[in-house]
Amino acid sequence: MPYPTPDPHRTGTLDVGGGHRIHWEVRGDPDGEPAVVLHGGPGSGASCRWQRFFDPERYRVVLFDQRGCGRSTPHAGDTVAALNHNTTAHLISDLERLREHLGIERWLLFGASWGSTLGLSYAVEHPQRVSELVLWSVVTTRAHEVAWMTHTMGHIHPHEFAELLGHLPAERRGGNIPAAFHDLLVHPDPEIHHTAARAWCAWEDRVATLSGPVERGPRYEDPRFRLGFARLVTHYFGNHAFLPDDGITGRLHRIAHLPALLVRGRLDIASPLSAAVEVADHLPRSRLHIVEDESHSAGPETERLLTATLDETASRRD
């Protein structure tokens, strides 16, 4: 059973520089085990639904909207200025500022999808500030993973991929698809950037639907969210998370001492499972659970694993 989602007992915005202010909130026990939620996307924004994994009587849960999305300002759905000073290094710096602002010494990192990339990036940069990692739908956003989501998935969904490519100039269809789309998404003509946002989000829905009719994400019905999300995803994916190819995997020895739960669905075909296996192979204190019949979203078994691990961690520290 999911835990209740109490209202936040602290909330605010934090000036992180470069014209950005990030929205944050704290839920659960003010004296509980600190944990920070790293949402996906990039650009999805934090939701109180993340709280359902945490016992509110044992955890102090920090949620925040990453630069350019949610209630943080500026918003990428309003202005391309939200993409300035917006890289993985900036997000890592934001996490450190927020941790210091809240007076937290170390915290558990809880993230999914893009949030797992951000969590691993933060952990290898600041290992002394991390108590544990609990990550699901694990990805590292390297060049070959981005190519998998576009060109490789194009072999699975050739008709929809051809439709996606149809929005691009012919000379850019064989290269970095997110980067090419990003140029359309930041175009000053609203008809061009809104059309590109609809096309990109339709592709996101296609690769997220394993079989049957495409399941349309209701959040993409909001033009502001849709545009901001597409701009941020292609900004980060087109630049391979602004990290060198070994920016995470080449530094995992720095967090070899940390306990980690990694969860991936076997049917999560939007990115290669081998990325999660590679991370787990370099973390001797990690446990990798491959859930056979689940895809990218957290299904019942993934939710059970996450909640059980968080309960076990809290019990160990009581």
Q: Which residues pair with 28 in a beta bridge?
A: 60
Other Cβ atoms less than 10 A from the Cβ of 312: the count is: 12
Q: How many angstroms separate the CA atoms of 243 and 140, rounded?
A: 10
The span from the CA of 31 to the CA of 287, in Å, is 28
Check residue 69 and report its DSSP letter: S
Options 75, 193, 235, 296, the catalytic residue:
296
Q: Strand 107-112's sheet: what is its strand order?
A: 10-17, 20-28, 59-64, 33-38, 107-112, 130-136, 260-265, 286-291
| Annotated catalytic residue 296 | yes
Which of 29, 268, 286, 295 is the catalytic position?
268
Kindly report the number of other CB atoms within 10 A of residue 17's CB atom: 11
Look up 194 and say whether it is catalytic. no
Q: How far apart are CA 167 and CA 14, in angstroms?
A: 38
Residue 9: alpha-carbon gap to chain centroid: 25
Amino acid at 168: L
Give the Cα separation of 13 and 236 in Å (integer). 23
| Cα–Cα distances in angstroms (integers) from residue 51 to residues 86, 88, 269, in the given order | 26, 24, 27
Q: Is 205 a residue of the active site?
A: no
Alpha helices in 18-157 (DSSP H): 88-102, 114-125, 143-147, 153-156
The neighbouring-strand residues paired with 22 are: 14
* Residues 289, 147: Cα–Cα separation, whole Å: 25
Cα–chain center distance at 170: 31
Rounded CA gap, 11 and 173, in Å? 44
* Catalytic hit among 44, 113, 121, 271: 113
Instruction: List the catalytic residues.
Output: 113, 268, 296
